[in-house]
């Protein structure tokens, strides 16, 4: 956790982006780290946890992080929490809370409300189109003989 | 939307990954597309919407997608919904629903429950550590004179 915090603070001072750092550990060894690179790389998905997950998967040559734990300097936003879920990591340790992040000007707490809200009550309007035609993609998936589930 | 659906189906047949495609549009023109590349690129964050957002931001040289709308072949999972929120796009159009995705074997609906649950009731254990020390990162952020908010 101290490494994640140091990465977060260093990232601010180096103008990498926001005050967030993350570390992926397996068997007591750091296999990857990440910091928030949103503004320096023009990538709104480049939160510390996402950057660390991508680096860890690259290092392991796998699309899952089973057996790994993730230390992040701040409670993951919903994007990062869901990314951690998809990564299948074993546990998450965090330092600052979503409320702390809100106090520092970040939308994490607001975003938890948004994701929990019914679809028709969200800030970004969501509209369903061509439901019948869209099903063809899932039909193709279901019938693919050599599909790789994830 | 038809383009997003065609990308999704094509992605299955080309073994890119899951049956998902997304298109980012500004002023009636497609500026970027994405498909699910989780298994082919060993990246659990490479969902169609995330791939499309990253490509669109790269094309625009910006970390936000204000003025853009996103068409996705399936209702975004919480990771992608939050990524779309962070991208500041104007609207989302989707084809298949999260329930359809669940029927096809994907955890999207489950993940909405997970993200909405109190922190201590989630499947992945979450533990807070070193809260006092972690605050140093936010203090550094607050006092940075030339910080770029996002």
For residue A22, the tally of other CB atoms under 10 A from its CB is 32
The rounded distance, in Å, linking the Cα atoms of A88 and A82 is: 10
- The conformation of residue B73, written as its DSSP 8-state character, comes to E
Of B9, B71, B128, the CB nearest to A140: B9
Q: Which residues of B touch A82 (CB under 8 A)?
A: 77-79, 82, 111, 114-115
> pLDDT tens digits for B93-129?
999 999 999 999 998 888 999 999 999 999 999 999 9
Distance of CA B58 to the CA centre of its chain: 15
Q: A113 Cβ partners below 8 Å, 6+ apart?
A: none
Percentages helix, strand, coil for chain B, rounded to the nearest 5?
45, 20, 35
Share of chain B above pLDDT 70, in %: 100
User: What is the pLDDT averaged over residues A105-132?
Assistant: 93
Report d(CA B129, CA A134) in Å as an integer. Answer: 44
Question: pTM for the whole thing?
Answer: 0.96
Residue A49: active-site member: yes
Q: Look up tokens 């603070």; give the residue.
A: A9
What is the distance between the alpha carbons of residues B78 and A12, in angstroms, rounded to a whole number?
27
Give yes or no for a contact between A95 and B129, defined as CB atoms under 8 angstroms apart: yes
Smallest Cβ–Cβ distance between B96 and the set A78, A97, A131 belongs to: A131
pLDDT over threshold 90, residue A107: no
Identify the residue whose tokens are 């998905």. Answer: A45
Q: How big is the A-B interface in CB pairs under 8 Å?
A: 294
């Amino acid at each position: 956790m101290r490494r994640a915090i140091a990465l977060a603070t260093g990232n601010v001072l180096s103008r990498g982006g926001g005050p967030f750092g993350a570390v992926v550990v397996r068997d007591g060894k750091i296999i990857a780290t990440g910091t928030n690179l949103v503004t320096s790389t023009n990538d709104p998905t480049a939160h510390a946890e996402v950057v660390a997950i991508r680096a860890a998967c690259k290092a392991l040559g796998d699309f899952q992080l089973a057996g790994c734990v993730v230390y992040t300097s701040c409670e993951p936003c919903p994007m990062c929490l869901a990314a951690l879920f998809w990564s299948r990591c074993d546990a998450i340790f965090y330092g600052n809370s979503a409320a702390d992040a809100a106090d520092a000007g970040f939308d994490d707490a607001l975003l938890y409300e948004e994701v929990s809200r019914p679809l028709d009550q969200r800030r970004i309007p969501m509209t369903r189109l061509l439901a019948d035609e869209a099903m063809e993609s899932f039909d193709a998936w279901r019938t693919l003989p050599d599909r790789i589930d994830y």
